Structure 1
Amino acid sequence: MAVKRVSIKNHSAEANLFARRTFITFLGVLAMLLILFNNIYDLEINSYEKYQTRSNKNRIKLLPVAPNRGLIYDRNGVLLAENKPVYSLAIIPEEVNDVEQTLALLSDIVDVSDEQKQNFLKSMRYKRRFKPLELLSRLNDEQVAKISVSQHLFPGVIIEARLKRYYPFGDLTTHSLGYVAKINSNDLLKLEQQGKSDGYKATRDIGKLGLEKYYQDLLHGSMGYQEVEVNNQGRILRTLSFTPPVPGKDLTLSLDIELQMIAKRALSGSRGAVVAIDPRDGGVLAFYSNPSYDGNLFVHGISSKNYKKLQNRNRPLINRATKGTYPPASTIKPFLGLSGLENQMITTSSKIWDEGFFKLKNGKRKYRDHLKWGHGWVTLEEAVMRSCNTFFYKLSYELGIDKISATMAQFGFGEPTGIDIFEESAAILPSRGWKRARYNEPWYHGDTVNIGIGQGFWTVTPLQLAQATSILVNKGEIKEPHFLSAIHSPLPLTAELSNNDTVAAAVFSGADDLSQQDNSKNGITREISAFEINEKPPIELNNEQNWDIILEAMHKTVRAPSGTGYRAFLGSNYDAAGKSGTGEVVGRAQDTDYDATKISEDKRDNAMFIAFAPYTAPEIVVAIAIENVAVGGGGSNAGPVARQIMDQYFANKTLTAKE
């Protein structure tokens, strides 16, 4: 029988083993606690500032606040561009369970088009979901009431109130003021390239055309900030501090809104432009292109339907005052006459016999006068006054294109005037080099003859004509045309010009006059002196009396019964001078009589007119261009428009004097 062995446990050994294991475990736990406390000490003491900053960055945000855009006034303090409160319907996608269903339900309350729905859904892809996204703008009182009543049914749907640009005079000022519209990707790219994007983080609109674009830096102002506490989803919990934005500067223009109204009424039913300038300082008094359009359409985003309406045959989107190019016609005869006197090709006593046409030596073509039977013996003064083509055919041929181009370039033809809007054409001042580069052809004598009456290749803008006339009445002194008259700033201009006003500082580099305190705007007014704006050397003549000879010829054009502008200014209570012009749109055979009723409207002649008054001390220069007139020429169509502008100007002046 086997004997079974029974092992007896060694309790003492087991107790020692347990004690050793417990001690080792204790040491491990103690080591981990030491490491933990060390890390806590490092986080709470050594790295407190570091992680507190990181925490604050996650918890506290600096949100940009957009400044109010500066206002724009005319010369008499009439408000031309303001900021009006508008209501818009916005949705916070984060708070909406089904966005598409919400859009459908909202359509039952207010009119939401399919285009607006698609644009909203598209914008959701590029915006953070907790940010309000605009669905409808410019809500009327009825729409606001309907939404407010039902708003409890639509979580995440809110009504926002903010300021938007508004132009009280609509189409009267669009081609000068331009308009603002939503900042797009191209605008953002340009701002980044210019290093200005940080200042536009809260701005929704930017100047797109005209003065709104040119003086964007002045009008925009400086961004403010609010320090807010947010949750982990980025939603604002409370505002900690607020730094208000600096509003944009208010601008006062030389423009007179009453003259704008007269220009619109005078051009009613016609395509054309009116430009009026004060020759003493270059300030633009009137600047109207007809037909025009309402810039307010673009402020809130123009629909494709409304935009198509503007793309019609009358082309209202084109600024005819600076972008419309027309043959100057007979309006350039005073300038050619001055060139003839200066180059000693003619004198005041020079005469030619006008039998109704001019022919080049050995040439067959007859360059006809507007009078088939001619004007008989004609001097320079009579040629300007009665607009004798034959005289200037001969004069231009004798001068030659090189001398003509050189003289006309001095008066600013063929280049932008430098007016303070970007939308300006240089038009065409032809020369030998220009024709060779454009057509790869030589210059012919026949080209020069056509140039002599402002036809052929030569084109001008109404603004160029007004500027050239201003130089003429100033006897060679050049005043650059401009709209801006004064800047009203909420802060001292001397401090701000060095930082933000790069455009104004460049344009008005010499103007440093800080005038009286403007209490109405709680800021400083700085008057802009045009005599200090981009001064150019004057035109100097060999014989200064030649200025008076040409100006007197223009005076008689309006005052003498045989002058082409006599009827337009008959009975005026101010002493005016001027020159008419009738520009051919298409060439005609030499033996063909012009009959406007037998040709299409777009091929009819243009009517042109330049004028200034008073004759002895000019205060206003006017240039008129009217397209495709049915009957008559510049004197009978454009002349009366110039008369209406001047009548209004001097009526206002008389009224102001009486007051």
Structure 2
Amino acid sequence: MALAQASLNAPDRELERFRFRVALAGVAVVAAFALLLARFFHLQVVQHEYYTTRAEDNRISLVPIVPSRGVIVDRRGTVLARNYSAYTLEITPSKVDDLEATIEGLGRVIDVQPKDRKRFRKLLEESKTFESLPIRTRLSEEEVARFAANRYLFPGVEVKARLFRHYPLGPVASHAIGYISRINKRDLEMIDDNGQTANYKGSEHIGKTGIEQSYEFDLHGEAGYEQVEIDAGGRAIRSLARTPPVQGNNLTLTLDVKLQEIAEKVFGDRRGALVAIEPSTGGILALVSTPTFDPNLFVDGIRSDDWDALNNSPDKPMLNRALNGAYPPGSTFKPFMALAALETGKRTPGQAISDPGYFNFGGHQFRDDKKGGHGSVDMHKSIVHSCDTYYYTLANDMGIDSIARFMATLGFGQETGIDLEGESEGVLPSPEWKKRRFKRPEQQKWFAGETISIGIGQGYNAYTPIQLALATAVVANNGIMFRPHLVKYITDSRTGEKTMIEPEPLRVLPWKQSHVETIKRAMVGVNTHGTGTRAFAGAGYVAAGKTGTAQVFSLKGGDYKASRVKKELRDHALYIAFAPADKPQIALAVLVENGGFGAQSAAPIARMVFDYYLLGKLPKGVAEEDEAEED
């Protein structure tokens, strides 16, 4: 009986459990739907604006439009760097089914070099698929016509016009102007550090050296943008809006490019440098470093063989000797030593020494360049005839500390502040410098005998041509030093407003005018009856100057004869000058590497530069070339 009752109750319990499971499932379903509804409400209502923006961003992409780079001209308006339009062959990867096959097919129609393919691959990695990328640049008219005839075979490929940088004068003033080339990782870091990342989207080039580098953000301009609607596959559908780019600002330089061109030509195939400055403003009139190079080679990526030729040349054409070459100043240092002697009271103009042709110190004989000496020598004669013994004695009397302090005020051993990057400091020797320079204690000690050679511009002395030119300009300008600069004014591309780069006086040296006049008269004497007489014979103006010859290596007491010395070990030739002597308009420093005597190699170059700048007279060889070009 009990067994039968249990059997009857079993279906009831199963039914109850079933109903419980159904109810539990219903609650779960309701809860799930509630969660879905809540999530739906959160997405559609609470975060509606956020996801609408995200969807719009996915639908619309901003394509950067690269601005046109600013133009660079010289002080007379001659174009030194400009832009020109040329045809490029471009591929839009999103519109091409088989990219490799397309590139192979194009190679059968138009010459596509391995370097073109390599550059395209690099651009492809950095770009969006709907952007068109150049596979070949600067197509000829024939190549454009050939592609046009086969255009139907290459969907997603088209010919476009793009702007390219061009330097019309080629190698002329290339170290001053510099060049642009493709942006690398280091450039990207610099752009990011300056908060310019957005402005450089789409840009492929940047200034690498010279004015192109130091005024990069003025020249670059402001990028524009095009709003492009794209589909789910990343393909461009249509253009929605366009914000045009703003062209970069234009630069007008202080450089006189005709003077620059003449200076480069008269150097011929010799290595060297020339810096010409306007003393009253600090404006650079010419900045020469020879040999030079063609900046056009770098614009679209320099070929490996061209780079090897430049980089491995023993003449080092990529070295800016005017700013980075440090050389002993030789006897061009003597006017500054004489001025230091006057200002420190160590000498008077009429105080004379007897020169036997040598100076003995510490058991060592420092020889004069003239055997038998110059006899009785005062300050004027010491500069005019370049008497070494006078300056051996003077250096010993002044001491290294006094010399170093005075020369530092002239800018030696420090950057001049010119508006170009990478300037060298040179070496202004002193006991403190020697302690920093050498590691071993026995090397760090300054010996009194080392001071003697400093007096004639030898020893540890090593200065850049621009430092020599600046110091010369300061003497010409009676102690007022202006910061050397290459840019005269910047023209705003939108408004046309010109922002002048005002002459910036770095310091005013409290020299006695009578002391300055003593040095100037002696430097005039150099060219009228001294070491520079031959170079300036018959000049239609009065120039003040000083010749110099700097040893490249020690002769250890032997006689110097250029014919017995390897060319690369021959003395450097130097010359500093300003003119007209009474109202200087131009001051310069000339260096001819391994050129021998300054009077023979460097002074004639200065004469030809002065003749053109002051009289408009062209050197004979240059004038003949100009006539031939006109014919």
Q: TM-score range by the shorter chain?
A: 0.7 to 0.9
Change in CA separation of 1:34 and 1:426 when aligned onto 2, cut-off 3 Å: closer
1:611 has 2:577 as partner: yes
List aligned pairs for 1:73-472, cutoff 5 A. 73-311=73-311, 312-360=313-361, 362-363=362-363, 365-439=364-438, 440-472=443-475
Measured after TM superposition, the shift of residue 90 of structure 1 is 2.4
**For residues 555-585 of structure 1, what are the alpha-carbon distances to aligned partners after superposition, in whole Å with 9 as ceiling and x for unaligned?**
111122xx11111111111111100101111
2:605 is aligned to: 641
- Normalised by the length of structure 1, the TM-score is 0.84
Q: Displacement of 1:357 after TM fit?
A: 1.4
Deviation string 1:259-280 (CA, Å, 9 cap, x unpaired) is: 1111111111100011100001
Distance of 1:409 and 1:35 partners within structure 2:
80
Code of the residue aligned with 1:369 in structure 2: it is D
Deviation at 1:38, TM superposition (A): 11
- Percent identity between matched residues is 41
In 2, the alpha carbon distance for the partners of 1:86 and 1:642 equals: 41
Normalising by structure 2, we get a TM-score of 0.88
Residue 109 of structure 1: CA displacement?
2.8
CA contact (8 A) 1:251 1:488 kept: yes
User: What is the identity, as a one-letter code, of the residue corresponding to 2:519?
Assistant: I
Residue 171 of structure 2 aligns to a residue whose secondary structure is helix
SS at 1:170's partner residue? coil
Partners in 1 of 2:46 and 2:365 — Cα distance?
A: 100
Q: Is the 8 A contact 1:224 1:243 kept in 2?
A: yes
CA distance in structure 2 between the partners assigned to 1:537 and 1:459 by the alignment: 23
Determine helix, strand or coil for the equivalent of 2:506.
coil
Asked if 2 retains the 8 angstrom alpha-carbon contact of 1:92 and 1:131, the reply is yes
**Residues 509-559 of structure 1: CA distance to partner in whole angstroms, max 9, x if unpaired?**
xxxxxxxxxxxxx521222221xx2x3331113x43111111111011112
2:516 maps to which of 547, 550, 556: 547
Instruction: Look up the SS of the partner of 1:222 in the other structure.
Output: coil
- Residues 483/70 of structure 1: CA separation in 2 closer, same or farther (3 Å cut): same
- Asked if structure 1 preserves the Cα contact closer than 8 Å seen for 2:359 and 2:393, the reply is yes
Mean CA deviation greater in 225-234 or 340-349:
225-234
Moved more, 639-648 or 226-235: 226-235
Give the deviation of 1:611 after TM superposition: 0.7
Distance in 1 separating the partners of 2:30 and 2:351: 119
Kindly provide the amino acid, as one letter, of the partner of residue 104 in structure 1: E
Quickly say closer, same or farther: Cα 1:54–1:438, change in 2 above 3 A.
closer
**Residue 58 of structure 1: aligned partner:** 58
State how far apart, in whole Å, the 2-side matches of 1:178 and 1:264 are. Answer: 16
- Asked whether the 8 Å contact 2:482–2:507 carries over to 1, the reply is no
2:628 matches 1:628 = no
Instruction: Give the aligned residue type for 1:524.
Output: E
Give the match's secondary structure for 2:225: strand
**CA positional deviation for 1:116:** 3.2
Structure 2 CA distance for partners of 1:232 and 1:571, relative to 1, 3 Å? same
Q: Distance in 2 between matches of 1:464 and 1:529?
A: 21
Cα distance per residue 1:154-185 (max 9 Å; x no partner): 22322231112111111112101111111112
Within 2, Cα distance between the matches of 1:423 and 1:30? Answer: 74
Of 543, 568, 582 in structure 2, the residue corresponding to residue 602 of structure 1 is 568
CA distance in 2, matches of 1:252, 1:104: 46
Question: For the residues of structure 2 that align with 1:33 and 1:399, how far apart are their CA atoms?
Answer: 98
Check conservation: 2:469, 2:576, Cα contact below 8 A: yes
In 2 relative to 1, CA 324–45 (structure 1 residues): closer, same or farther, beyond 3 Å?
Answer: closer
Find the aligned partners of 1:39 and 1:596 in 2 and give their Cα distance.
92
Contact persistence 1:488–1:525 (CA under 8 A): yes
Distance 2:87 2:194 in 1: 33
Contact persistence 1:559–1:577 (CA under 8 A): no
Report the alpha carbon displacement of residue 254 of structure 1 after superposing the two structures with TM. 0.4
Secondary structure of the 2:480 match is coil
How far 1:443 moved relative to its partner? 1.3
Measure the CA separation in 2 of the matches of 1:597 and 1:586: 15
Structure 2: distance between partners of 1:429 and 1:140: 55
Q: What are the Cα deviations for residues 469-516 of structure 1, in whole angstroms up to 9, with x where unaligned? A: 11111121111100111111134xxxxxxxxxxxxxxxxxxxxxxxxx
- Residues 252 and 485 of structure 1 are in contact (CA less than 8 Å); yes or no, is this contact kept in structure 2? yes
- Partner of residue 524, structure 1: 497
Query: Runs of 5+ in structure 1 lacking a partner?
Result: 1-28, 492-521, 655-659
Q: How many residues align?
A: 586
- 2:538 counterpart of 1:574: no
Deviation per CA, 1:164-210: give whole Å up to 9, x if none.
21111111121011111111121112222222211111322111111
Alpha-carbon displacement from aligned partner over 1:120-149 (angstroms, at most 9, x marks no partner):
345434433333232222222222222222
Unaligned runs of 5+ in 2: 1-28, 619-631
Q: What are the superposed Cα offsets for residues 354-408 of structure 1, whole Å, 9 maximum, x if unpaired?
A: 1221111x51x32111112221111110110111111111111111111110110
Match of 2:532 among 558, 562, 565: 565
Shift, 1:89, TM fit: 2.2
Distance 1:459 1:33, change over 3 A: closer
CA distance in 2, matches of 1:215, 1:653: 34
Deviation of 1:353 after TM superposition, in Å, equals 1.5
Is contact 2:611-2:617 (8 Å) kept?
no
What RMSD in Å do the two structures reach over aligned CA positions? 2.6
Residue 47 of structure 1: how far off its partner (Å): 6.8
Cα distance change of structure 1 residues 383 and 39 upon mapping to structure 2, 3 Å threshold: closer
| Matches of 2:196 and 2:321, distance apart in 1 | 32
Q: CA 1:398–1:96 in 2, change beyond 3 Å: closer, same or farther?
A: same
Question: Deviations for 1:593-641, whole angstroms, at most 9, x for unmatched residues?
Answer: 2121222111011110011011111110011000012xx5101110011
The alpha carbon displacement at 1:50 in A equals: 4.9
What's the counterpart of residue 625 of structure 2? none
**Alpha-carbon separation, structure 1, partners of 2:50 and 2:393:** 87
CA distance in 1, matches of 2:39, 2:383: 97
Shift of 1:339: 1.0
Residues 450 and 456, structure 1, Cα contact 8 Å, conserved in 2: yes
Q: Please list the CA deviations of residues 430-464 of structure 1 after superposition, one character each: whole Å capped at 9, or x if unmatched.
A: 10111122233311222111111111110111100
- Give distance in 2, aligned partners of 1:301 and 1:71: 21
Whether the 8 Å CA contact 1:606–1:625 is kept in 2: the answer is yes
Q: For residues 170 and 423 of structure 1, what CA distance do their matches in structure 2 show?
A: 22
